[in-house]
């Protein structure tokens, strides 16, 4: 079956009588089975249970790879009722809203035999083997309760073209770095139709990227000026552009280009950022929400998403959502409890190490480790074991306080209480002064003007 989930529990059960109510698939964190890093919220995953009745063992496959082996001592009896999305207390009934599995499910199949690993992967590629005992498309399912039927293709949705708008203004270097980190790029229109399509997208979000001082919207294009050959080039191969909507102004001092809401290609110091391509779904980590306990650190994992308008936000499997709110601020909400966790009151880039106002983080950390007030939060791609520069870049944790700056902003050498010197450190050389500046005072005494005086006394 395909299901966009963070955990799978009681979604698939069979009942053949009062004594034979069996959970065919039960994947619950409370049993001690934890598979971190394998599932993303709001993204389709294929889940397959392979059950060996003779050995009374079962295996769980996620996205074509085996993730778990478990005991399966219960026998599956024939002539039962198969239920998706709820627990049945008796044959075909006894449903409870509290036990329902909210969300989406599609592509459920049953076979009377064990599938090969190749066949399991084919199921994950939306090409299941034939001769299924139960086939999703031809089975007459009966709906109970608030169930909405719609046709979806999980394989197509997972590999679809991605586009989002980051609703703040960035310079071209920072914007390109942000898109590249998501495996995406700036738009590169090669025709008027493609240019018009980009205009339609940014005009749909005309107010999302406005500021207190500027209400217009523009977005960076994947087009740069080749100074050596004196021509505009674009795209991943940096070929000469075949289509242009450049406004007729001097371009000798500009190297990058944006498209504005009128469709013209103009020049800006900062612009909104549109990233597009095939999303590789990077993981984003947020650190600093919880009070430290000895050496224990708390990291929450977030995943890039876009809303119906295409505005960028981050969603976590635990219910955290980080997004840009009207009023030029970034907010972090815990959706299950409808709690505002943190807020950053500026229209600046939230990435990297920034000061946030925490309103109590008990929903994430528990009451004993929650934080209030102003604290630095780290939001980046940097995995645990790495150091996040203030700008958001990642460097090895061993580079922290090593007297050799790795971050461009040298933030890895700031606030160091203990310096870690490498084995080849040359102690007879003076340290790099921006890291350990020398305090000195220069006093300059200067006589600015001298008037010669000649005196004669006569009597």
Q: pLDDT per residue over 266-284, tens digit each?
A: 777 788 888 988 766 678 8
For 281-301, write each residue's pLDDT tens digit: 678 888 888 877 544 567 788
Which part of the chain has CATH 3.10.100.10?
161-278
- Helix, strand, or coil here: 121? helix
Which part of the chain has CATH 2.60.120.200?
2-156
What local confidence, expressed as pLDDT, does residue 30 receive? Answer: 38
Total Cβ atoms within 10 A of residue 349: 19
- Helix, strand, or coil here: 271? strand
For 241-267, write each residue's pLDDT tens digit: 888 877 655 454 456 667 776 667 777
- Which of the residue ranges 57-61, 178-182, 384-388 would you say has the lowest mean pLDDT? 384-388
Query: In the structure, what pLDDT confidence band is assigned to residue 39 with cuts at 50, 70 and 90?
Result: low
395-411 mean pLDDT = 84
Its pTM stands at: 0.66
Query: In the structure, what pLDDT confidence band is assigned to residue 66 with cuts at 50, 70 and 90?
Result: confident
Percent over 70 (pLDDT), the chain = 71
Tell me how far apart the alpha carbons of residues 251 and 30 are, in angstroms, rounded to a whole number. Answer: 62
Of the candidates 162, 163, 167, the residue with the CA atom closest to the CA atom of residue 205: 167
Strand partners, 83: 13
For 226-237, write each residue's pLDDT tens digit: 888 888 888 888
Tell me how far apart the alpha carbons of residues 122 and 130 are, in angstroms, rounded to a whole number. Answer: 11
Average pLDDT, the chain: 76
Q: What are 79's two structure tokens?
A: 């002539």
Query: In the structure, what pLDDT confidence band is assigned to residue 159 with cuts at 50, 70 and 90?
Result: low
Residue 430 to residues 370, 404, 417, 426, 427: CA-CA distances in angstroms?
43, 12, 19, 9, 8
**Sequence-separated (6 or more) residues with CB below 8 Å from residue 215:** 207
User: Strand pairing of 65-71 and 81-84?
Assistant: unpaired
- Which of the residue ranges 120-129, 179-188, 240-249, 373-382 would you say has the lowest mean pLDDT? 240-249
Tell me how far apart the alpha carbons of residues 76 and 397 are, in angstroms, rounded to a whole number. Answer: 52
- Which of the residue ranges 9-18, 38-47, 353-362, 399-408 would you say has the lowest mean pLDDT? 9-18
Instruction: Kindly tell me if the per-residue pLDDT of 208 is higher than 60.
Output: yes
Q: Which residue has the higher pLDDT, 213 or 221?
A: 221
What local confidence, expressed as pLDDT, does residue 434 receive? Answer: 56
Query: In the structure, what pLDDT confidence band is assigned to residue 332 with cuts at 50, 70 and 90?
Result: very high
What local confidence, expressed as pLDDT, does residue 40 receive? Answer: 64
Of the candidates 209, 198, 219, 204, the residue with the CA atom closest to the CA atom of residue 266: 219
What local confidence, expressed as pLDDT, does residue 38 receive? Answer: 57
Tell me how far apart the alpha carbons of residues 376 and 173 are, in angstroms, rounded to a whole number. Answer: 24
| 2, 44 contact by CB (below 8 A) | yes
Query: In the structure, what pLDDT confidence band is assigned to residue 91 with cuts at 50, 70 and 90?
Result: low
| 421, 441 contact by CB (below 8 A) | no
| 197, 287 contact by CB (below 8 A) | no
Of the candidates 263, 277, 66, the residue with the CA atom closest to the CA atom of residue 164: 277
76-86 mean pLDDT = 74
Instruction: Kindly tell me if the per-residue pLDDT of 6 is higher than 50.
Output: no
Instruction: Kindly tell me if the per-residue pLDDT of 456 is higher than 60.
Output: yes
Q: Which residue has the higher pLDDT, 90 or 120?
A: 120
Query: In the structure, what pLDDT confidence band is assigned to residue 17 with cuts at 50, 70 and 90?
Result: very low
Instruction: Kindly tell me if the per-residue pLDDT of 156 is higher than 50.
Output: yes
What local confidence, expressed as pLDDT, does residue 341 receive? Answer: 92
What local confidence, expressed as pLDDT, does residue 307 receive? Answer: 84
The CATH code of the domain at 161-278 is 3.10.100.10
What local confidence, expressed as pLDDT, does residue 362 receive? Answer: 86
Exposure class string for 78-87: b at 16+ Cβ within 10 A, else e: eebbbbebbb
- Which of the residue ranges 44-53, 85-94, 139-148, 347-356 would you say has the lowest mean pLDDT? 85-94
109-125 mean pLDDT = 87
Instruction: Kindly tell me if the per-residue pLDDT of 76 is higher than 80.
Output: no
Total Cβ atoms within 10 A of residue 396: 13
**Helix or strand run (H / E) with residue 157:** helix 154-158
Torsion of CA 338, 339, 342, 346, to 10 degrees: 50
377-401 mean pLDDT = 85
- DSSP assignment of 217-268 equals -EEEEEEEEETTTTEEEETTTTEEPS---B-SS--TT--EEEEETTS-EE--
Instruction: Kindly tell me if the per-residue pLDDT of 454 is higher than 70.
Output: no
Q: Which residue has the higher pLDDT, 268 or 164?
A: 164
What local confidence, expressed as pLDDT, does residue 254 receive? Answer: 56
What local confidence, expressed as pLDDT, does residue 3 receive? Answer: 64
The class that CATH gives domain 2-156 is mainly beta
Query: In the structure, what pLDDT confidence band is assigned to residue 169 with cuts at 50, 70 and 90?
Result: confident
Query: In the structure, what pLDDT confidence band is assigned to residue 2 with cuts at 50, 70 and 90?
Result: low
């Amino acid at each position: 079956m395909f299901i966009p989930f963070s955990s799978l529990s009681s979604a698939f059960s069979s009942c053949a009588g009062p004594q034979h109510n069996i959970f065919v698939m039960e994947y619950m964190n409370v049993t001690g089975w934890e598979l971190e890093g394998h599932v993303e919220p709001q993204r389709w995953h294929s889940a397959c249970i392979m059950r060996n009745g003779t050995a009374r063992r079962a295996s769980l496959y996620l996205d074509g790879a085996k993730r778990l082996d478990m005991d399966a001592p219960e026998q599956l009896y024939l002539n039962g009722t198969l239920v998706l999305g709820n627990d049945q207390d008796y044959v075909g009934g006894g449903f409870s809203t509290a036990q329902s599995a909210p969300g989406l499910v599609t592509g459920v199949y049953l076979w009377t035999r064990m599938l090969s690993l190749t066949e399991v992967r084919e199921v994950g590629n939306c090409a299941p083997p034939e001769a299924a005992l139960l086939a999703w498309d031809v089975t007459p399912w009966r709906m109970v309760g608030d169930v909405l039927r719609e046709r979806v293709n999980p394989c197509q949705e997972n590999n679809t073209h991605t586009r989002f708008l980051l609703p703040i203004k960035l310079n071209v270097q920072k914007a390109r770095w942000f898109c590249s980190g998501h495996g995406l790029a700036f738009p590169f229109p090669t025709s008027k139709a493609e240019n018009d399509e980009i205009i339609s997208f940014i005009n749909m979000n005309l107010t999302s990227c406005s500021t207190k001082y500027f209400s217009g919207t523009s977005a960076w294009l994947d087009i740069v000026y080749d100074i050596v050959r004196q021509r505009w080039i674009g795209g991943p191969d940096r070929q000469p552009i075949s289509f242009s909507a450049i406004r007729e102004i001097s371009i000798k001092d500009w190297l990058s280009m944006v498209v504005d809401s009128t469709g013209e290609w103009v020049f800006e110091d900062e612009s909104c950022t549109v990233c597009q391509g095939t999303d590789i779904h990077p993981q984003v980590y947020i650190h600093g929400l919880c009070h430290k306990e000895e050496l224990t650190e708390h990291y929450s994992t977030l995943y890039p998403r876009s809303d119906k308008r295409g505005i960028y936000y981050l969603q976590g499997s635990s219910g955290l959502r980080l997004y840009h709110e009207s009023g030029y601020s970034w907010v972090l909400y815990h959706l299950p409890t409808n709690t505002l966790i943190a807020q950053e009151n500026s229209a600046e880039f939230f990435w990297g190490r920034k000061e946030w106002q925490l309103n109590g983080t008990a929903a994430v950390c528990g009451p004993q480790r929650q934080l209030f007030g102003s604290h630095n939060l780290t939001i980046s791609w940097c995995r645990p074991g790495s150091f996040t520069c203030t700008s958001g870049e990642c460097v090895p944790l061993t580079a922290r306080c090593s007297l050799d700056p790795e971050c461009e902003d040298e933030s890895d050498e700031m606030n160091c209480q203990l310096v870690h010197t490498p084995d080849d450190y040359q102690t007879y050389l003076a340290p790099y002064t921006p890291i350990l500046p020398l305090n000195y005072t220069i006093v300059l005494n200067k006589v600015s003007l001298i008037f010669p005086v000649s005196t004669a006394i006569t009597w």
